[in-house]
Structure 1
Amino acid sequence: MVDLLPEFPAFLLIFVRVTSFFLMMPLFSYRTIPASHKIGLGFFLAWIMFYTVEAPLFEINGAYFLLIMKEALVGILVGFIAYLILSAIQIAGGFIDFQMGFAIANVIDPQTGAQSPLTGQYFYIITLLFLLSVNGHHLLIDGVYYSYQFIPIDQAWIPFGDENMVEYVVKSFSSMFMVALQMAIPVVGSLFLVDVALGIVARTVPQLNVFVVGLPLKIGVSFIVIFAVMAIMMGVVSQLFELMLGTMRGLMDLIGSS
């Protein structure tokens, strides 16, 4: 045990990065997973990675504590960018709920504890099952492991002032809304046509109360269109996984190239 003490600071840095990933990363960051399980999984992953990552010997001093802060920020930032891309699904559900009339009724997401739209939560649960079925959680863990090829463990700091890094995060944020609009546009476009038709009916048949007829009609049309385009939406979700992993890789490349 004494022989491992000189290498303990390097192991602690790896452990901090892995557990910081689990704070923000989809699937691993949810409240339904006990904190003891997250810490245990992070410990054993860090123990495995410790023997594969070539880490120099560190001295515990002021610079070492800065490295700990850097490792925590790397894990949180890369995990956050992955969660940001995947949250496009809930935003698409919010667009659909607003047109359906369900925007007033939100549900509590048990994974995060936050309020989320009904349709968005429905899509999100299906997406998580799809992510597990294609072993996407293994790819996320691979992202933690291969992060050391982009961001060395002895790198001094994260270049927050780098213009390319800020631009990359902003583009990732905008791409999230673009994917959300692509998922929601079939239902939102169909409901727009329903609104146009109801407006024409209201002008031609004034005796008909379109407010009473319109809400159940829009809900029924929404469900029909959702079931009709569900396969296309799952295709967009598969592209979303590729975008998420590519965004994580690009961000790590920008952090490590400075």
Structure 2
Amino acid sequence: MITFSSADIGAWLATYLWPLARVLALLAVAPALGSFAIPVRVRIGLGVLVTLIIAPGIGPVADVGLVSPHALLILGQQIAIGLAMGLAMRMVFSAVEMAGEVAGLQMGLGFATFFTSRSDGSTLVVGRFAGLLATLVFLSLDAHLLMLSVLAESFSALPVSAGALSSDGWQRLVLWGGVIFAAGLQLALPVIAALLIVNLGLGILTRAAPQLNLFAVGFPITLMVGMVALMLSLPHFIPIVEAAIMQGLETMLGIAAGTRG
């Protein structure tokens, strides 16, 4: 008769519990797979499925009791690691949406907003369009599968143990945030530059003809020029997003490895 002791059951559960915490934390903030459009049950089921696939190959985990302060510490560390890796990729989409929102504000579409449950607030339509375009690029590159592959590799770079994510890993996440948001501003620069020239021209025109109704004339012009500039910049938009996604995947692994980029 086969019998199992409580220690055996605890060790078996720990083999799957610690990786599950890291996987679910990443899926909670990761783009596409962590979208609020996906039901919570589906995301949890996906996390469990990924854990069942990854866990047997990650090697031994920390041998601690599941009901102990040490276990809670390891659980918190795995959640922090998963969140940090997911945020590295989420920043790419946030920067792209920021670029769209900045461009939309310059075009005069600040009033054309709609409610989104993801951020519990209003979002500019141009920012939403840029976010959807980035999501399509993300899925077309199979980056969601690459992201899960990087997650699996992270267990080799940073195994499940009492060791926390190093300060270099957190520093890399902070530096990556600065780089990617600067790239987002650069994405919006063509539209901003074009509309700046238009606004300067409208300002000179208003000084030359004060009786001119600036709101009746200026808004259609800025909207049209903004749309044309956005259309002309789209062919250059996709390669930049692709490069940012690939760099985001490298940053995810670098965060787990605790190395500086």
TM-score norm. by structure 1 comes to 0.90
Q: Could you tell me whether the CA contact under 8 Å between 1:85 and 1:172 is conserved in 2?
A: no
1:192 paired with 2:196, answer yes
Aligned residues: 253
**Corresponding position of 1:120:** 127
SS of the counterpart of 2:123?
strand
Structure 2 residue ranges without an equivalent (≥5) = none
Q: Deviations over 1:155-202 (max 9, x none)?
A: 43234xx3x445433322211221111110111100001011112212
Cα 1:170–1:49 shift into 2, 3 Å = closer
**Conservation of the 8 A alpha-carbon contact between 1:32 and 1:110:** no
Equivalent of 1:221 in 200, 220, 225: 225
Q: Which residue pairs with 1:133 in the alignment? A: 140
User: Counterparts of 2:121 and 2:84 in 1: how far apart (Å)?
Assistant: 20
User: Contact 2:165–2:256 at 8 Å: present in 1 too?
Assistant: no
Q: Pick one of 43, 62, 71 that aligns with 2:69.
A: 62
Amino acid at match of 1:55: P
Aligned to 1:72: 79
Q: SS where residue 207 of structure 1 aligns? A: coil
Is 1:22 aligned to 2:27, yes or no? yes
- Please report the RMSD computed on the Cα atoms of aligned residues, expressed in angstroms: 2.1
Aligned residue number for residue 216 of structure 2: 212
Within the candidate set 125, 137, 155, 1:148 is matched to 155
Does structure 2 conserve the Cα–Cα contact (< 8 Å) formed by 1:14 and 1:46? yes
Q: Please state how far the C-alpha of 1:112 moved relative to its aligned partner.
A: 4.9
Distance 1:56 1:198 in 2: 66
Structure 1, unmatched stretches of 5+, are: none
Deviations along 1:35-87, whole A, 9 cap, x unmatched?
Answer: 11111111111111111111246231332221111111111121122212321
Q: Matched residues, percent identical?
A: 23
What residue identity is the alignment partner of 2:30? M
| Contact 1:85–1:176 under 8 Å retained in 2 | yes
Cα offsets for 1:227-256 (capped at 9, x unmatched): 11111111111111122112212211217x
2:52 aligned to which of 39, 47, 51: 47
Question: 3-state SS of the aligned residue for 1:95?
Answer: helix
Q: What is the identity, as a one-letter code, of the residue corresponding to 1:127?
A: A
